[in-house]
Amino acid sequence: MTTATSWHERPLRIVDFIPPAPDRYEALDMAEQAAVRSELGFNAEHIEVHDVSLGESGITFYPSEFAVENRKDLLTEIASRNGASGVKTIVYFNVHWLSPSLSEVKPEWLQRDSAGEVIPSAYGQGGYSCINSPFREYAFGTIRTLAKHRIDGIFLDGPIFREDGCYCEACRQQFQDEYGYEPPVGAAIASREDHDWFGFRRSSIARFMREARQALQETNPGAIIYMNSPQLAPNRLCCRDNRMTVAHQDMLLAEGGFLGGDLRTVPVWKPAATAMLLETQAGGKPYCVAIAGRLSPWSRYLLTAAETWIAHAMAVAHGAWTWYGVYNDNNKDARMRTVREINDFLAAHEEHYTGTRSAARVALLWSYATANYYQTTAEATDFTDAKSRLRHLDRNDSRQAFNGWFDALSRSRVPFDVIDDTALTDGTLGGYELLVLPGASCMAAADAEAVRRFVKAGGRLIATFDTSFYDEYGHRLDEPSLADVLGVRQVRGTRVNAFDHIAVEAGQDLFAEIDQTLVPSALLGVECSVREGADVSGFYRERQLSRYSELPDATSSPYIVRHAYGQGSCIYFTGNVDGFYSAYALPEYRTLLANAVREMIEPELECGFETDVASVHVSLRIKGDSLLIHLVNYTGSMTRPMSSVLPLRNVRIRLRERDGWSGECTIRSLRGNRTLAGERSEGTLSFVLPVLHEYEAIVIAND
């Protein structure tokens, strides 16, 4: 039987065992090494055949005319052993970090700041390679050389531009040629020069990818290529733009499972969020979440079994392939048993992870415009520095706002997707019933118009705080571009609430299950008046002078505005309820956000637990006639890294029947390996999952 699906369109379980220093690398028993990889259940490998211990060094483990030094040919041996055992060989090629030795002989390959100085690498050694410099000839020559070997693909680590680069000779010349003036230095953010400079660097990366792919596929047409793509972060910091590069990549990969530092501050669902963004941006191509086995910055310390399971489950629950990387010295570590267990499970059930698509009807926006031009904190990555300070205390943190909604939706077990600004206007939005705009402060007029059309046609909208108060480049508008949809008549200003309260209005669905009469007000709020016909819940009070003073009087500024618009409707929270929930995790706010979603759409899936548990993430996917429910359980002992997950027993699942689901069906749990008895009533299908460990996937197949 022939299949139209090419090998990388079936689940990849990629391993990257970072090799030791050259002498030890060459002395490894390659037969034994190959056996380790297949025993662990991987079906693809990123292999390092350049010495990259201090960045790209030009020292190759295969013959290359572009090499500074040719060492033992390991590539031929590894590729042939992998080929024999069915493991795909994908060569890792570092195109962003140049070693000190190569930096010294090729200074013209390095990224430079506006003063012409080499930008030092944050890795502590060497510099950043510039993909517009003559380095590109080295890169394409290397790719052509590699293409002649028995390889299945190339992974490019990078390419990136640093925020303060690049002003090398080649970049200066090329920018001058394209734009007719010298590269701008210190251009005001969102000025024309700033747009040109950001656009130049992003399109340089897209062009590099296009030519790199040509270089590979002209010799080796079946081989695939992809780069290290950005995650949920402002892409101004690295100039990588998936929307511009995806046409020149065969797959998207991002480091959504690279966990580091104090994990208590890192959302446990980070790999899921990455997979969800990539799914939207990949446009039907495969996407992969890279999971580091270690806890950064300790490169040789492996994460616990529970954390490893959860990271993988979060990725595969959203249709992503997985990449797992540790040092080769760790490849027989006892903790590798977990990866083998995960891989064996995924391999055994490959059909249920191939060719699936999300069945979510809720979309949560990750706004690049807001992340880039408003303000946000950002995690440190291998490519960019952390951003922990906010300049404007009366403005939101766009990452926190997104995280707040993500966490609330996840813990309320609402199946949802993550979309980006592009998805508002490219036809994607119309496939959803509810759009959530978490403090989407910056929005292009065309994007606002698309949202307006969506609601007018019957779509539901939830928005918070200063959504659409700025254009896509952060210029404050006279009135919010979505004011008519939000139900806002006039914005009077923004308030900063230190210890203010909001009265809970008994009997209102939005406040259902909140047993307090007063709840804290979100720290930031918009003071506004509303349009005729808008319905208000809760009001801000006059400023409270001290924590201990009497409650001040209520004002006429609404806390929540409900507004019907066209065939659809909107709930507008004037406070930054999402960022506030992200910061304090007050359960009443999770309830409030979940109630808003329930008011807008009928829940598709409900899970009942024996105890009150919120630490389960769900995903709903479709494959042909089958529906898949993925459940990721991260119920632990109140801290991270989690040493173990507490199993949940007798999980009651109720699924609203969808079109075409009226017939008989079979319900099967893949990890538990059981057929479950379903019960139908009033348009729902109910069943009980006997036990949920870290992860379960349930397949509901139409008979």
| Interface with Zn ion (CB under 5 A) | 130, 132, 166, 168, 171
Q: Which is nearer to Zn ion, 122 or 583 (CB)?
A: 122
Q: Which is nearer to Zn ion, 168 or 302 (CB)?
A: 168
Least distance from C-beta 666 to Zn ion, angstroms? 58
DSSP 147-208: HTSS-SEEEEE-----TT---SHHHHHHHHHHHSSPPPSSPPTTSHHHHHHHHHHHHHHHHH
Least distance from C-beta 142 to Zn ion, angstroms? 18
Residue 15 and residue 322: Cα distance in Å, rounded? 8
DSSP 505-521: -TT-GGGTT---SEEEP
Q: Which is nearer to Zn ion, 167 or 687 (CB)?
A: 167
The torsion defined by the Cα of 34, 40, 45 and 49, in degrees rounded to 10, comes to: -50
Q: Which is nearer to Zn ion, 171 or 225 (CB)?
A: 171
Give kind and range of the element (H or E) at residue 629.
Answer: strand 626-633
Least distance from C-beta 449 to Zn ion, angstroms? 38
Residue 490 has phi, psi (to 5 degrees) of -145, 135
> Which contacts qualify for 349-353: CB closer than 8 Å, 24 or more apart?
349/670, 349/697, 350/10, 350/11, 352/623, 352/626, 352/628, 352/670, 352/697, 352/699, 353/11, 353/316, 353/319
Kindly give, in sequence order, each residue whose CB lies less than 8 Å from that of residue 446, ignoring residues fewer than 6 positions away. Answer: 425
> Which contacts qualify for 505-508: CB closer than 8 Å, 24 or more apart?
505/537, 505/538, 508/537
Least distance from C-beta 161 to Zn ion, angstroms? 8
Q: Which is nearer to Zn ion, 143 or 166 (CB)?
A: 166
Least distance from C-beta 368 to Zn ion, angstroms? 23
Q: How far is CA 89 from CA 34, 43, 246, 496, 643, in A?
A: 11, 9, 22, 55, 34
Tokens of residue 285, six digits: 């191509």
Q: For residue 157, which of 343, 321, 381 has the smallest C-alpha distance?
A: 381
Q: Which is nearer to Zn ion, 175 or 402 (CB)?
A: 175
Q: Which is nearer to Zn ion, 239 or 462 (CB)?
A: 239
Least distance from C-beta 132 to Zn ion, angstroms? 5
Q: Which is nearer to Zn ion, 132 or 228 (CB)?
A: 132
Residue 48 and residue 157: Cα distance in Å, rounded? 11
Q: Which is nearer to Zn ion, 75 or 168 (CB)?
A: 168
Least distance from C-beta 694 to Zn ion, angstroms? 45
Q: Are 675 and 682 in contact (CB under 8 A)?
A: no
Q: Which is nearer to Zn ion, 131 or 225 (CB)?
A: 131
Q: Are 434 and 363 in contact (CB under 8 A)?
A: yes
Q: Which is nearer to Zn ion, 130 or 346 (CB)?
A: 130
Give kind and range of the element (H or E) at residue 618.
Answer: strand 616-623
Strand partners, 502: 519
Least distance from C-beta 110 to Zn ion, angstroms? 8
Least distance from C-beta 274 to Zn ion, angstroms? 28
- In this structure, the number of other CB atoms found within 10 A of the CB of residue 646 comes to 17
Q: Which is nearer to Zn ion, 112 or 562 (CB)?
A: 112
Least distance from C-beta 481 to Zn ion, angstroms? 37
Q: For residue 28, which of 49, 14, 42 has the smallest C-alpha distance?
A: 49
Q: How far is CA 586 from CA 406, 516, 594, in A?
A: 15, 12, 13
Residue 340 and residue 325: Cα distance in Å, rounded? 13
Least distance from C-beta 328 to Zn ion, angstroms? 33
Least distance from C-beta 95 to Zn ion, angstroms? 13
